[in-house]
Amino acid sequence: GKPVTPRPPGRATQPYGRGAALPIDHRPRLPQIGSVIDKYHIDELLGTGGFAAVYRATHLLLRIPVAIKLLKPEVMAKHPGQAERLCEEARFAAQINHPNVARVYDVTHSERITYIVMEYIDGVPLHEAFSAAQPLPPREVLRIGIDVAEGLSAAFVQGMIHRDIKPANILLTRKGLAKIVDLGLAQSSSADARRISASPAEVVGTPSYMAPEQALNPERVDFRSDIYSLGVTLYHAATGHLPFRGDDSIQTISMHLNQPVPSPRLHVKGFPAELERMLMCMLAKDISVRPASYAQLLEALRETDQVLALESGDGSRPTRGGLMERIRGLFSTLPRDQRPSPTSADLPPKERP
């Protein structure tokens, strides 16, 4: 590869973390493209958020691409606790070795710099893969749902729930794999970890994708809250629309708490009934109505995909398992205020406008 120049010659520097450098006449700041932090050459800024910036970098010894999530210096100065949270995110993710979860390779923490070194994923965020005018095909949505559920299941085996599943936190690789990223709001069942992380009673997450209990009673949050958020994500991808969009966060949360989920058929003509039933089960306001385990969720997603394959003439006849019948039963027995809003296509002929 091309030779790498760690820093411009002739400028006095002082250490920046482990082996990096900054001009001595500057306070800590985000690294420049082309600079070196420890053994990582900074190649490209991928994005910035309120607390951190993410870069594509090259490991100078292994010559492989990596992603670096670096806490902003001003955040470290004003909110020193965020450094420990970033390290905690790394510890959470490092326990998971699964193809549907982005791998964490390393973490560095000092008074001047804190960052995570992660797997670099050559792909796009899920939210860039669809639009209101062009939602994803139903079977593609199910494939993504299966991938994400597999990753969430692997995390749950380690005692973790994500608490912020949404399209921006799911990356689609060029090979068609969906990967979960950003465990910054993950919660562990470990008592020690709970003392460090955001309090279980603290409302965290993204309102548009947040389960009702996550906003109303955060202490009740468990893996089924992630199932709800995944349901919102799949609904969004399959229709191009969020089920609830208020004028502000408070109104959006109120809609999740109180309003029935609009039928996907309001947005997509001929939306598959089996997929609608699947989504409505995941989006049940009563946490006990949602799939009772990731094994059940995955079974239902796969059986739904088999049904759609059969209906499209693109698969063999599926073996209908008991869970699909359970979902149909739950769907029909949901309280009326929790059922999807009907469209004219759902009504008997004599009741249609």
Dihedrals phi, psi of 54, to nearest 5 degrees? -120, 130
pLDDT of 80 reads 73
Examine the residue annotation and report whether 164 is marked as an active-site residue of this protein. Answer: yes
Q: How many other C-beta atoms lie within 10 A of the C-beta of residue 87?
A: 18
Q: CA nearest 106: which of 119, 123, 121?
A: 119
CA–CA separation, 168 vs 302, rounded Å? 24
Rg of the Cα atoms in the chain: 23
pLDDT, averaged in runs of 10, over the chain (353 residues): 48 43 56 93 89 92 94 80 77 86 88 88 92 96 97 90 91 92 62 41 77 85 94 98 95 95 96 97 96 97 96 58 45 47 38 39
Strands 104-109 vs 40-48: parallel, antiparallel or unpaired: unpaired
Ranges of each domain in the chain: 31-119, 123-342
How far is CA 172 from each of CA 43, 129, 295, 344, rounded to the nearest angstrom? Answer: 21, 8, 23, 35
| Residue 136 per-residue DSSP state | P
pLDDT of 348 reads 35
| Residue 346 contacts residue 265 (beta carbons within 8 Å) | yes
Q: Please, what is the Cα angle at 21 between 15 and 27, to 5 degrees?
A: 80
| Residue 310 per-residue DSSP state | H
Class of domain 123-342: mainly alpha
Q: CA nearest 274: which of 321, 224, 337, 226?
A: 321
| Residue 187 per-residue DSSP state | E
Which residue out of 43, 106, 122, 164 is catalytically annotated? Answer: 164
- How does pLDDT run across 258-271, given as a tens digit for each residue? 999 999 999 999 99
CA–CA separation, 156 vs 209, rounded Å? 19
Would you say domain 31-119 falls under CATH 3.30.200.20? Answer: yes
- How does pLDDT run across 204-226, given as a tens digit for each residue? 678 999 999 988 887 778 899 99
